Amino acid sequence: MGESHPTRNLAELDQTGPRSTEPRVALIHYWLVTMRGGEKVLESLCRMFPSADIFTHVYNPNAVSDVIRRHKVTTTGISKLPSPRTRYKSYLPLMPYALEQLDLRAYDLIISSESGPSKGIIPPGTARHVCYCHSPMRYVWNMYQDYREQAGPVKRAVMGPFSHYVRNWDAVSAMRVDDFIANSDNVRQRISRYYRREAQVVHPPVSVDDFAPVTGSEVGEHYLMVGELVRYKRPDLAVEAFNRMRRPLVVIGGGEMLGEIKRLAGPTVTVLGTQSFESLRYHYAHCRGLIFPGEEDFGIVPVEAMASGRPVLALRRGGALETVVDGLSGLFFDDQNVDAIIDGVERMDKFDLDVPSVVAHARCFAEPVFRDNMWAVLSRYIEALNHG
C-alpha cells in the first residue's frame, strides 16, 4: 500500500508487430452533464487513451473536467431534442434507437461506460467492445418499483410499457459486449442476474490524494453525511437518528429531498446543501465520522472519508462491504432504521481509530490502481489488435 504507480497510457504498450498505428479507441458514456463517479471513470479512461473519441447522448462542456473537454465529443440525436441538458432522462425510451445510429466503423476498441444506456451501440464486426458497468440501469431493474412508487399517476401509467421495452432491449444489447467489467462485486452479481454474463471487478478510481487527515485536536464532535439527497440513500434515517440523540450532524449534498431534509432537521442538524470542494474536504477531515445509511453500487464517499483519516458507519450492504473494513476503517449496522444508526453511533464513540491504517486502506482505491487493473483487462485486446 502507498507505493507509487507511474501513469501509463496507450503509447506505452507494446506497439511492435504488423500494425504500425495505435488502435483507434471510442469511449461511450451515457450523458455528460455533471462530474460524478461515472464521469471520474471516463476521465481516467481519457488519460489512458489520450487520442480516444467520446460519444454521448447529451454534452455540457461547462459541466465536465478539462481532461474530458480535450477530447472530440460526438452526441447522439438526443442532443437535438428540446432542452436535452435538463430533460435527458425523459428521453430514455428514445436512447436505444439513438445509440444504434452511431457509426463506429472507424474504431478498433470500444469502451462503454454504463449506468444509463451506453453499451447498446452496434459494434462493427472487427471491433472489440468492453463495457465498464457502474450498474445495470437501476430504473428498469433492481430499483424499478422504487422509481415507479415515487412517480406521479401520469408518469406511472406510461412507465410500465416503456420500461418493459427498455428492459428487453437492455438485456439483448448485453450480447453485443465482448467483456463486462463491474465496478464492484455487488454490481457483478447484478450483471450475472440480469444479463446472464460474467464480469471482472475493477473498483472505480478515487482521488485519494485530494484528501488528508488533520491532527486529533482539530477533529470536531459532529458527524457528517455526504451525498445526493435522494430517497434510496435514506438521508432521512440519519437526520431522524441525530434528532433523537440531540447530537450534531452536518449534511452536505443537494437533490430532490433537500427541502424535505431541511424541514426534518432538528436544532442539532445542519443542512448545508451543495458545497465547494474545499468545504467538502474541510468537513471530511474535521468530522468525528461519516454516516452512510444507504445501499450503493460501490460508494466513493466512504473512501474519501477514509482518505481524510475518518471512520465510516455504514449499512452492511452493497459496495460498502468492499470499501469499509469492519473494525479497521469503520463499523457496520445491519438494519436500515433509526435505532440501528443510534446503536452504531454509540459504538463509534468507543471506536479505537488508527488514522495511518485508515488512510493506507483508502489508497487501495487510488486512480493509478484503477489504471493498472484496467490495463490488465484491456491490454490483451490491444495487443491482439497490434499483432492481428
- What string of pLDDT tens digits covers the 388 residues of the chain? 333 334 455 545 444 344 446 789 999 999 999 998 899 999 999 999 999 999 999 999 999 999 999 999 999 999 999 999 999 988 988 999 999 999 999 999 999 999 878 999 999 988 999 999 999 988 888 888 888 888 888 888 888 888 899 899 999 999 999 999 999 999 999 999 999 999 999 999 999 999 999 998 999 999 999 999 999 999 999 999 999 999 999 999 999 999 999 999 999 999 999 999 999 999 999 999 999 999 999 999 999 999 999 999 999 999 999 999 999 999 999 999 999 999 999 999 999 999 999 999 999 999 999 999 999 999 888 887 776 5
What is the amino acid identity at position 106?
Answer: A
Nearest in space to 102 (alpha carbons), one of 85, 82, 84, 119: 119
**What pLDDT shows up at residue 304?**
98
> Which grid coordinates belong to 157?
401509467
Nearest-angstrom CA–CA distance, 151 and 148: 5
Residue 73: burial class (beta carbons within 10 Å; 0-12, 13-18, 19+): middle
Give bridge partners of residue 180 from the DSSP assignment: 131, 199
**What pLDDT shows up at residue 7?**
45
**What pLDDT shows up at residue 170?**
92
Nearest-angstrom CA–CA distance, 202 and 179: 13
**What pLDDT shows up at residue 9?**
59
> Which grid coordinates belong to 77?
440525436
**What pLDDT shows up at residue 21?**
61
Angle at 306 between CA 143 and CA 364, to 5 degrees: 85
Nearest-angstrom CA–CA distance, 319 and 325: 12
**What pLDDT shows up at residue 129?**
97
- Note the pTM of the prediction, 2 decimals: 0.88
Nearest-angstrom CA–CA distance, 219 and 203: 29
> Which grid coordinates belong to 169?
432491449
Look up cell 463491474; give the residue: 182
In the chain, the domains with their CATH numbers are 10-205+366-387 (3.40.50.2000), 208-364 (3.40.50.2000)
DSSP state of 139: T
